Amino acid sequence: MNHGITDKEWMLYLEGELDEATVHGLEAHLVSCKACWDYFDQLAGAGEQLRVTGEAIRSELSLCDRVLYRALVSTVSRINRQEKPSHDMKVRLDYLRSIMAPMCGARTVERALKLAAEASPAKTLEAVSDEHWNPFLLMLTSIAAVMCGETAADLIWESGQAEVASC
């Protein structure tokens, strides 16, 4: 039922980041296609609900500076204890999973990793390489900021950069 509208175009449209020419075409189609209008309405409602729920959860679970500092020190200590740096992408991705899973759950982490890969030059999680690492990590950090807040996103960015630096 995509009628020529890709998932990426829907996402960019909902975020207000779709180019003007494509917006006009998509909106012209929306007014004449009930199925696409219903799909858009469903996506927009789900997106808004996620934003509102995420904001509520972040405000309820806000951590004091002392707790955040202890978590950061613990993570940096784990990074420093790694004996043998690895160029293996699976090891890097597993490392990011281990950092993110306690914050948002394993299923959400997998979806975030896949979305970040799809939005990066790699296009798939399996194709993420040294060449694609920074764009992938930047996308993952952006996704984490929405899901878990800026502090968690900063932790993921720093951890991903530290993983590369140790190689």
Domain residue spans of the chain:
7-57, 63-166
Q: By the 8 A CB rule, do 5 and 14 touch?
A: no
The alpha carbons of the chain give a radius of gyration, in whole angstroms, of: 19
Kindly report the length of the chain: 167
The 10s digit of each residue's pLDDT in 100-151 is 888 888 898 999 999 999 999 999 999 999 999 999 999 999 998 888 888 8
The 10s digit of each residue's pLDDT in 21-79 is 898 989 999 889 998 888 888 888 887 888 788 777 777 666 666 766 777 777 777 66
Element (H, E) at 49: helix 34-60
CA distance 114 to 123: 9
**Angle 143-53-157 (CA atoms, 0-180°, nearest 5)?**
20
Within 8 A by CB and 6+ apart from 130, the residues are 87, 89, 164
Q: What is the pLDDT of residue 62?
A: 64
